[in-house]
């Protein structure tokens, strides 16, 4: 098997641009890696091998195009981004046979930049979960230990990148769904500011929370992908028309002098696994050695974030998923005799348990008599959470803390939904506030030998600061090896 799959995206893009490697060779390297690892990993719902090779052959015939920064680079998409003529399932039986007639804006931008899309990644159904165990089709394994979960809901995207099946993937982050699998799989995952990347063509879970972002094997690679997909889109009313900076220009700094890092006491206390705390504190200490100043900050409403998030997210899920009724979209039970039976049985058979649970709770909190008691209060707390961050950022440039209280757990260990929800305790506040964040691998847990991610949180639309600091730290840590599968 070709060892090309071990290259970073930046390295592969350079080899392709120079003509040292052809697009067909890059695609074949990834397809060979998929064939070798997928039986154990099961990261992909759809493999677009034949189409990818045809596209690569056509690109090679024309020759490298220096104006397209991702020319010939194989990539994977989370399976809730619409792809013209290619099945898009959202990990759900209700969309098992759905073939869109248009591409999501982020997909169009990747294709315009020359990326070759080779697969659609497994995910928790409709992005509802933290382990990719809620997929209607199969569970995905963690490349470091296939008995453990890869995180979720973008677990397939995280696993496929970590295993070398592609050079980068797109995930989506509603409450940590990029950062958590990035932490569990030992890769970089970046959630941009809400509105930085177009959501057009993203099949929504929580419309005020969802954001598309890159999952890669290095900070530099994440900057390359974000540079391509960021920007205003008139097709998306939530897309913000602000300038997109040169994310690559800020990389390569020699030290962190002049940078102040806030450490929220709520993220470093009780409930944090000792091996996670040790790895994250060692990374913070390394930033201090590089010249960064650290200061304590308070995010006092963190304890209320879980309740606030799940009220808002489930309410939005109830609204967004109402269209999947067996008439307008989705699976239909053709044996039902009455209309109401068709609606009920189609949704019962088409949606999994977790999705049904969230729809029911979301409908409840929006219902007459309960809207003010639950949803309206959650919306107010959300505003206060954002104010907490605003106050903290008066003292620092970035906030840092663990991504998750633990490393990747074994499949089946979190059967209680409430236990699973608590995996998101350190990530969901950022989505409620609409701020950018990322996970950077900072080592392996001493006991579990599983990856640990340090989370950076930034001011709105200041992804370049976060990337610059993370890049400097990454280059001053021991490199994260690729897992052996």
Tell whether the torsion through CA atoms of 109, 216, 162 and 123 is positive or negative: negative
> Exactly one of 7, 22, 78, 135 is catalytic; which is it?
78
Assigned token pair, 29: 């390297």
Determine whether 153 is an active site residue: yes
Assigned token pair, 461: 């639309």
Assigned token pair, 303: 């304890």
Query: Which residues have CB under 8 Å from 419's CB, separation 6+?
Result: none
Query: Which residues have CB under 8 Å from 234's CB, separation 6+?
Result: none
> Exactly one of 22, 153, 183, 198 is catalytic; which is it?
153
Bridge pairing between strands 74-78 and 116-121: parallel
Q: Could you give the count of Cα atoms lying within 13 Å of 401 in the half-sphere of its Cβ?
A: 27
Determine whether 322 is an active site residue: no
- Contact in structure between 124 and 131 (CB atoms under 8 Å): yes
Q: What's phi and psi for 413, nearest 5 deg? A: -75, -20
> Exactly one of 22, 135, 157, 177 is catalytic; which is it?
177
Q: What's phi and psi for 290, nearest 5 deg? A: -85, 0
Task: Tell me how far apart the alpha carbons of residues 456 and 287 are, in angstroms, rounded to a whole number.
Answer: 12
Which residues on adjacent β-strands are paired with residue 441? 453
Q: Which of 466, 95, 130 is nearest to 309 (CA)?
A: 130
Residue 217, classified by CB atoms within 10 Å of its CB into exposed (0-12), middle (13-18) or buried (19+), is buried
Determine whether 177 is an active site residue: yes
Active site residues: 78, 153, 177
């Amino acid at each position: 098997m070709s060892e090309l799959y071990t290259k970073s995206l930046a390295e592969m893009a350079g080899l392709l641009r120079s003509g040292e490697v052809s697009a067909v060779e890059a695609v074949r390297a990834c397809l060979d890696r998929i064939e070798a690892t997928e039986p154990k990993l099961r990261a992909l719902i759809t493999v677009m091998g034949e189409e990818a090779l045809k596209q690569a052959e056509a690109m090679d015939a024309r020759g490298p195009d220096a104006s397209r920064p991702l020319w010939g680079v194989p990539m994977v998409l989370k399976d809730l981004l619409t792809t013209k003529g290619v099945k898009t399932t959202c990990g759900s039986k209700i969309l098992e046979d759905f073939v869109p007639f248009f591409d999501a804006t982020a997909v169009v931008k990747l294709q315009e930049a020359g990326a070759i899309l080779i697969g659609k990644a497994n995910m928790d159904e409709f992005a509802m979960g933290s382990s990719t165990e809620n997929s209607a089709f199969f569970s995905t394994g963690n490349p470091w230990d296939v008995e453990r979960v890869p995180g979720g809901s973008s677990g397939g995207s995280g696993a496929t990148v970590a295993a070398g099946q592609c050079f980068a993937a797109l995930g989506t982050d509603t409450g940590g769904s990029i950062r958590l699998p990035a932490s569990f799989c030992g890769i970089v995952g970046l959630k941009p500011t809400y509105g930085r990347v177009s959501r057009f063509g993203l099949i929504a879970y929580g419309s005020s929370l969802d954001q598309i972002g890159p999952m890669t094997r290095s900070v530099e690679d994440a900057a390359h992908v974000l540079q391509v997909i960021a920007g205003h889109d008139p097709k998306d009313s939530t897309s913000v028309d602000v300038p997109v900076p040169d994310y690559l220009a800020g990389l390569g700094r020699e030290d962190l002098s002049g940078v102040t890092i806030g450490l929220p006491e709520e993220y470093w206390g009780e409930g944090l696994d000792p091996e996670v705390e040790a790895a994250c504190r060692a990374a913070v200490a390394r930033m201090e050695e590089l010249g960064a100043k650290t200061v304590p900050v308070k995010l006092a409403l963190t304890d209320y974030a879980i309740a606030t998030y799940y009220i808002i997210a489930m309410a939005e899920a109830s609204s967004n998923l109402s269209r999947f009724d067996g008439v307008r979209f989705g699976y239909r039970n053709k044996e039902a005799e009455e209309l109401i039976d068709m609606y009920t049985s189609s949704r019962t058979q088409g949606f999994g348990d977790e999705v049904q649970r969230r729809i029911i709770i979301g409908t409840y909190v929006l219902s007459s008599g309960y809207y003010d008691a639950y949803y309206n209060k959650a919306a107010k707390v959300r505003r206060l959470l954002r104010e907490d961050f605003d106050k903290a950022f008066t003292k620092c440039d970035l906030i840092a803390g663990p991504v998750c209280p633990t490393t990747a757990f074994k499949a089946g260990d979190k059967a209680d939904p409430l236990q699973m929800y608590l995996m998101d305790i350190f990530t969901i506040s950022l989505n409620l506030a609409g701020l950018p964040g990322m996970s950077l691998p900072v080592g392996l847990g001493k006991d579990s030998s599983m990856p640990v991610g340090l989370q950076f949180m930034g001011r709105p639309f200041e992804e370049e600061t976060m990337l610059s600091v993370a890049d400097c730290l990454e280059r001053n840590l021991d490199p994260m090896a690729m897992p052996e599968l």
